[in-house]
Amino acid sequence: MSRKPVYLAVYDTFADWETGHATAWLARVGYEIRTVALTTAPVTSIGGLRVQPDLALGELRPEDGPAGSLLILPGADLWDTSEDLAPFARTARAFLAAGVPVGAICGATAGLAREGLLDDRAHTSGAAMYLAATGYKGGERYVETDAVTDGDLITAGPTEPVAFAREIFGRLGDVFEGEKLDAWYRLFHDSDPAAYETLNS
Q: Taking each helix axis from N to C terminus, what angle separates 161-172 and 20-28, rounded to the nearest 10 degrees?
A: 40
d(CA 99, CA 71): 11
Which H helix or E strand runs over 93?
A: helix 86-97
Catalytic residue among 106, 165, 187, 195: 106
48: left (phi over 0), alpha (psi -120 to 50) or beta: left
φ/ψ (deg, to 5) at 98:
-90, 0
- Asked whether the beta carbons of 86 and 115 are under 8 A apart, the reply is yes
- Asked whether the beta carbons of 128 and 139 are under 8 A apart, the reply is yes
Is 87 strand, coil or helix? Answer: helix
d(CA 96, CA 100): 5
Q: Is 106 a catalytic residue?
A: yes
Residues noted as catalytic: 106
